[in-house]
Amino acid sequence: MQRISALVGMAMFIVLGAAQAWADSPSGGLPPWRFQMTKEQVASFADYGPYQSFSNGDLETYAGLFNGHKENVQFFFRDGKLARIGVYLYEGQDIKAAAAKWAQAYTALKNTFGEMELPGIQVQSTDGPIPPEAVGVAAGATVMTGGKAQMAPLKQPADKFVFASFSGHSVQGEMFYYVVVFYDPPRG
Distance CA 175, CA 38 (A): 35
With b for 16 or more beta-carbon neighbours within 10 A and e for fewer, the 156-181 pattern comes to beeebbbbbbbbbeeeeeeebbbbbb
Interval 94-120: pLDDT, tens? 999 999 999 999 999 999 999 999 987
Based on the number of CB atoms within 10 Å of its own CB, is 77 exposed (0-12), middle (13-18) or buried (19 or more)?
middle
Distances (CA, A) of 117 to 58, 133, 147, 155, 188: 29, 16, 17, 9, 18
Distance CA 182, CA 163 (A): 5
Closest CA to 62 of 54, 53, 52, 72: 72
Q: Is the pLDDT of residue 26 over 60?
A: no
Weakest-pLDDT range from 20-24, 27-31, 111-115, 159-163: 20-24
Range 34-59 average pLDDT:
96
Distance CA 145, CA 175 (A): 12
Query: What is the model's pLDDT at position 131?
Result: 86
Query: What is the model's pLDDT at position 18?
Result: 34
Interval 47-90: pLDDT, tens? 999 999 999 999 999 999 999 999 999 999 999 999 999 999 99
User: Do 162 and 109 form a contact (C-beta atoms < 8 A)?
Assistant: yes
Cα 113 to its chain centre, rounded Å, is: 14
Range 29-40 average pLDDT:
96
Cα 171 to its chain centre, rounded Å, is: 24
Distance CA 102, CA 116 (A): 13
